[in-house]
Amino acid sequence: MCDIVWPTIAILSLISTRCANSIKIPKLHTLKGIDNGIYTTNGLEYVPVFRVVANNGSNLTLNFKNEPNVLFFLDPKDAIDLMTELSQSFPNGNAITKLRLCVSDMREWFDSVDPSRKHIKGAKCKLVPSSRQLLKTYDYMHPADANFVPLFYSTSIVCGNRGGESKPDILVFFDFNDLISQINTLKSPIEREYALSNIKVTSLVDLVLDNKLGNVTLVPSRKSLEFCKSERYSDTKSSTFLDD
């Protein structure tokens, strides 16, 4: 049985090609703890995302289709790759070479695209899916949506029953390998095979705008949280992710 805290996460808005208005969604939950040691959290404000910023902390904007964008990466490796590429593309001493990684959280990204809140001036905020997770997605589907942020689940991988609820929550993973690790904890080979054969992919947008899975519990990426535990940023939110 999982030790779970059940906060209500009211995501007011998600600006995408499919939605431009303020909305409210069904309850989403995130794990506080799980028996096999997967790192989990109890709110979207604890799901790490990563930005490349100037040395003084100001946001780095990149132009796409003549529009400035601030990129929020789900995978720290992708953010580091961008930072390295930009730093190596300009002569030493150029301001662009003085870059660093900033850890923030998914709640901050949702707030940044909420039309009722103050935005980053003159720029759109884009959530960039993990390149590694997109590669896993192609084994199951080929998404047409350029904003596709994959989430992975198997209908047999669930967690507990909340008081008053007739069905347990489906565990929905940001990282495919975390789902596989959870499946591997099943004792029965038949159960493991069934779970593996029923792996499915959904998108964060679909889950937010049109949740057809019912009760779900989100499981943040173990690797991303381990990265936050291994790194230290004195003026960012890394300390949020340091508690075991």
pTM: 0.74
pLDDT at 99: 82
Please write the tens of the pLDDT for every residue from 41-70: 445 666 788 988 887 777 777 777 777 888
Tell me the residue type at 71: L
Non-local (6+) Cβ contacts of 65 within 8 A are: none
CA distances for 180 relative to 31, 154, 161, 186, 244, angstroms: 17, 10, 22, 10, 22
Average pLDDT, the chain: 70
DSSP conformation letters of 15-30: -BTTB-S-------EE
Q: How far apart are CA 102 and CA 87, in angstroms?
A: 16
Domains and CATH numbers, the chain: 39-128 (3.40.1350.100), 132-160+167-229 (3.40.1350.100)
* pLDDT value at residue 27: 43
Which residues touch 211 (CB under 8 Å, ≥6 apart)? 25, 26, 28
pLDDT digits (tens, 9 = 90+) for 165-215: 567 778 889 999 999 999 998 999 999 999 999 999 998 877 877 777 777
Higher pLDDT, 97 or 37: 97
